[in-house]
Amino acid sequence: MATYDPRTQKLLTFHDSVPRFLDGRDTPRAYLERCLDVIETREPEVQAFVVMNIDGARAAADEATRRYAEGRPLSNIDGMPIGIKDLFETKDMPTQMGSPVWAGWESGRDAAHVHGLRKAGAVVLGKLVTTELGFSFPGKTRNPFDPGRTPGGSSSGSAAAIGAGMVPAAIGSQVAGSVIRPAGYCGNVAIKPTYGALNRGGGHSSLSQSHIGIHAGSIEDAWATCWQIANLAGGDVGYPGLYGALEPMAPTKPTRLVRLETVLWPSVDDESKAAFETVIEHLKRQGVTIISRAEDADVETYEALTADALELTLQICLFELRWPLGAYRERGPGMLSESMLERLAEADKQTLDDYRAMLERRDQVRKAYAALKAKADGFIALSSPGPAPKGLHSTGSPAMNAATSMTGTPVWSLPLLAADGMPLGVQLGGFPHEDAKVTGHARWLMDSFLTQG
């Protein structure tokens, strides 16, 4: 197996093909066929997909091809092949959620974001493996850079499909670290936008920290996907949706960034720590001020408050999952994994007062994060406590991502680093509704670090 190098690794991109679609040198159908070739080669090992609708995708790609030939594509993602995490409904494929409860289930409709994507002309190619109901019990997918390692979860198939170059974009979702962590493990670009920015209707993604996220081969394609969803399907009901222009913010150097360690820093391996320091050194050389817990009391307050962010996230989710999991449990044995049943037994003991106390603690975390806005443009951290762990029995720890899910902030995972011959992602985050701004920062960091860093 070749050693992963973020500077030479090629990811599949779509936005740079559009000029060739418009002048006829290439077509969405030919683009799709190239994706299918990669899938044919890599899927037997990677196993990213639960199901595909190849005929439907070819028909959609042909329609897009016609639209480009006529000079009137529907959007900047018209003809873009995309995979959908199998927590979300699709009218042409079953939605099975990695769970026996939903085996074979067909809702007959598209989830809100899928409906929006099709309006934009995107080619919905297949459903991507998720862990059981988006929690920790793993699916079949393997890391595309080492089949003996996890791809992460719960957006396992989404991250693996991008890492393997099967599609240029894939939908994931995150409650604790289900987009950013697998994206880091699989060398993806990914964004978890501001909470509420993308409509979650039509899927098993309705917890109070659930976000839709995008895995992609480029910041440009991820941003375009977000924008089209927000503008064609809206944000969550009651939320203002994604802010920002159709074109992603131009690469922009941030002025000041908070360096976040998270509770897992002491357990990060030396190679990953050293790799992260190269990013920090690069930022400093470029004149970016780095603020960390060692010298800033507000950062220390936030780091200390978020030491149990993962546990708090899990406890909040457990209360919110008493239904529907309690209803599924009643259907009899085998419907939920042992690990899920154990968690549900914990949830049975929670009271409404317990839940209120947890929501108040989460509000404290949000306030502590908001206090950092006066002193920095955002934060930088590792996407995970090291590269993808060996073995397929666990999807790794989301403890480096849980706090930024709690705060509902926009976060990118960027494939900047390597450790143990595997991808190692870097999180770059901002403040709620500043998705466009942090996208400019992410583009600057990708360009400057990978070419000069």
- Which residues are near a copy of itself by CB under 8 A? 91, 109-110, 112, 115-116, 199, 201-202, 206-208, 230-231, 233-235, 237-238, 240-241, 319-320, 322-324, 326-328, 351-352, 355-356, 359
Residue 285 or 356: which CB sits closer to a copy of itself?
356
Backbone region of residue 235 per phi and psi (left: phi > 0; alpha: psi in -120 to 50; beta: other values): beta
Least gap, CB of 333 to a copy of itself (angstroms): 17
Burial group, residue 44, by CB count within 10 angstroms (0-12, 13-18, 19+) = exposed
CB of 309 to a copy of itself, least distance (A): 16
Can you read off the two tokens belonging to residue 83?
A: 């995979």
**Shortest approach of a copy of itself to residue 106 CB, angstroms?**
12
Nearer Cβ to a copy of itself, position 274 or 359? 359
Packed helices 297-305 and 352-370: angle between N→C axes, nearest 10 degrees: 160
* Nearest to a copy of itself of 352, 374 (CB atom): 352
Query: Among residues 148 and 324, whose Cβ is nearest to a copy of itself?
Result: 324
By beta-carbon proximity to a copy of itself, the closer residue of 84 and 414 is 84
Q: What is the largest CA-CA distance in the chain?
A: 63
Q: HSE, CB side, 13 Å, CA atoms: give it for residue 145.
A: 31
> At closest approach, how far in Å is the CB of 385 from a copy of itself?
28
Q: Output the CA–CA distances (angstroms, integers) from residue 331 to 100, 102, 211, in the order listed.
A: 11, 12, 28
Residue with tokens 């070749």: 2
Pairing between strand 189-192 and 211-216? Answer: antiparallel
- Find the shortest distance in angstroms from Cβ 238 to a copy of itself: 3
Residue 29 tokens read as 């159908």
Q: How far is the CB of 201 from a copy of itself (least distance, A)?
A: 6
Q: Which is nearer to a copy of itself, 108 or 266 (CB)?
A: 108
> If 0-12 CB within 10 Å is exposed, 13-18 middle and 19+ buried, where does residue 34 land?
middle
